[in-house]
Amino acid sequence: MSAIITNILCVVGARPNFMKIAPIMRVFKRHETTLAATLLHTGQHYDAAMKKSFFDQLHIPEPDIDLGVGSGSHALQTAEIMRRFEPVLDDLKPTAVLVLGDVNSTISCALVAVKKGIPVIHVEAGLRSYDRGMPEEVNRVLTDQISDLLFTTERGAEANLLREGIAAERIHFVGNVMIDTLRYNLDRAIEPMALFSSAGGEIEPENFSAGYGLVTLHRPSNVDNPANLKCLLTELRSISDRLPLAFPVHPRTAQRIKEYALENLLNSPRILRLPPQGYLEMLGLMRHAKLILTDSGGIQEETTALGVPCITLRENTERPITVDEGTNTVVGTDPEKIRTCVGEVLGSGGKQGRVPEYWDGRAAERIAEVIINWAQQR
Ligand code: UD1
């Protein structure tokens, strides 16, 4: 059969998209005689620490197109991405648009594509927290409804999609591209000691070298409300008496801490505040942590793959396999519950867990195979 050139327009927008696109671009390149990829960045995340360091470290090709939308309210950001994305589709006329995850860039570009009759491919489909208060949940449900090919990371996701009326033949369980990236880069992870030694100020590196916890916080429900944020930071301060904490602070969270004048809660020789970290630095920090306290989605999966105990500071998770099979415990934000869970993890070493099916570093390869077959049958 003669080679079919399928032009896939791959969209990224925000930090969690970058680690997911890296293996896809690498594998598509290997199939370039049948699969041509164009990379578009919406510009939702634009700071060097939120974007450039990931492209550099993960060898993601520079985007062919950058829409440069920047930040804004959900409505403004979504509308601006859609407005700027439409002429790109008119110009490129891709075979399909590939979107990842659940950020505003995902739904914005999927919506423009489907209205133009261009098939949408959704990587990381079918995850559900069943909490419509989360903006990402709305993005997930809507993107899945308008996608032609849906790639899932865990088997439960297929059941969610079938319940929502998605045809079974559109759904493909391929595994987790974020774990492709983790496996591919594990040997390159940057050891965290240098971060501790160069911290300066009140920080005593030897406290951290004896064992530390890692914290990330950025969900609007946790950081956009002064009382909630104060309560969480107070609890972190108290945990740091038992275990020193490294805390790379997301820009949203940094703004809120300043705005609500909560810096004093973090002024401690046992809390190392850091700017957003690169992928390899974060991998090193995660790998050696005694435990991780987080409200991130991706870190729940990465800790499961690494076998590091994860305490999730949310009331729910869209990634239940990390609880059922992995090292994740969803505790919510009640200080008493967090304290108890931290005590248990420090006492017992935490859940052992196992690595879920197909989190084997080959998800992007499976995705490419399905797309090639799909394109040949159209
Ligand atoms: C977005 C995603 C979230 C993801 C997170 C990872 C949505 C709805 N949310 O949340 O799912 O987990 O990214 O980081 O898409 N900012 C900067 N520099 C940047 C980008 C943003 O300083 O490069 C600041 C801006 O003040 C901005 C704020 O961070 O207003 C929030 O950025 P935004 O993209 O709206 O959402 P995130 O909280 O980053």
pLDDT at 2: 46
Alpha-carbon separation of residue 375 from 5, 96, 119, 261, 369 (angstroms) = 9, 9, 11, 54, 10
How far does residue 14's CA lie from ligand 1's centre (Å)? 7
Q: Is residue 88 part of a domain?
A: yes
Verify whether ligand 1 is closer than 6 Å to residue 215 (CB atom): no
Burial of 56 (0-12, 13-18, 19+ CB in 10 A): middle
Verify whether ligand 1 is closer than 6 Å to residue 352 (CB atom): no
For 262-292, what is each residue's pLDDT tens digit?
999 999 999 999 999 999 999 999 999 999 9
* Residues involved in catalysis: 218
| Whether 251 and 312 share a structural domain | yes
| Whether 228 and 163 share a structural domain | no
| Whether 48 and 194 share a structural domain | no
Verify whether ligand 1 is closer than 6 Å to residue 251 (CB atom): yes
| Whether 266 and 291 share a structural domain | yes
Region label for 77, one of left (φ > 0), alpha (ψ between -120 and 50) or beta (otherwise)? alpha
CB 339 within 8 A of CB 235: yes
Which positions ≥6 away from 8 have C-beta within 8 Å?
A: 28, 35, 36, 37, 38, 94, 95, 96, 97, 98, 121, 371
Domain extent, residue 314, equals 187-348
Number of domains in the chain: 2
Q: Is residue 1 part of a domain?
A: no
Give the residue, out of 224, 249, 252, 301, with the most ligand 1 atoms within 8 A of its beta carbon, to mutate for a pocket test: 252
Give the residue, out of 44, 82, 223, with the most ligand 1 atoms within 8 A of its beta carbon, to mutate for a pocket test: 44
Q: Is residue 231 part of a domain?
A: yes
Q: CA 45, CA 70: separation in Å to the nearest integer?
A: 6
| Whether 74 and 191 share a structural domain | no
pTM: 0.97
Closest atom of ligand 1 to 135 CA is 8
Task: Kindly list the strands in the beta sheet with 245-248, ordered across the sheet, starting from the edge strand earlier in the chain.
Answer: 271-274, 245-248, 213-216, 291-294, 310-312, 328-330
pLDDT at 327: 98
DSSP 8-state symbol, 327: S
Verify whether ligand 1 is closer than 6 Å to residue 50 (CB atom): yes
Q: Is residue 115 part of a domain?
A: yes
| Whether 258 and 322 share a structural domain | yes
For 161-217, what is each residue's pLDDT tens digit?
999 999 999 999 999 999 999 999 999 999 999 899 998 888 989 999 999 999 999
pLDDT at 282: 98
| Whether 284 and 156 share a structural domain | no
Q: Is residue 354 part of a domain?
A: no
Report which protein residue has its CA nearest ligand 1's atom 28. Answer: 252
Q: Is residue 180 part of a domain?
A: no
Q: Is residue 233 part of a domain?
A: yes
| Whether 159 and 213 share a structural domain | no
Query: Could you tell me the CATH number of the domain that includes residue 235?
Result: 3.40.50.2000
| Whether 297 and 223 share a structural domain | yes
pLDDT at 353: 94
Q: Is residue 124 part of a domain?
A: yes
Verify whether ligand 1 is closer than 6 Å to residue 44 (CB atom): yes
| Whether 131 and 250 share a structural domain | no
| Whether 14 and 133 share a structural domain | yes
Verify whether ligand 1 is closer than 6 Å to residue 294 (CB atom): no
Residues of the chain scoring pLDDT < 70: 1-2
pLDDT at 5: 87
| Whether 160 and 194 share a structural domain | no
How far does residue 97's CA lie from ligand 1's centre (Å)? 22
Q: Per-residue DSSP letters for 179-221?
A: HHHHHHHGGGPPPTHHHHHT--TT--HHHHHT--EEEE---HH
Verify whether ligand 1 is closer than 6 Å to residue 264 (CB atom): no
Closest atom of ligand 1 to 51 CA is 23
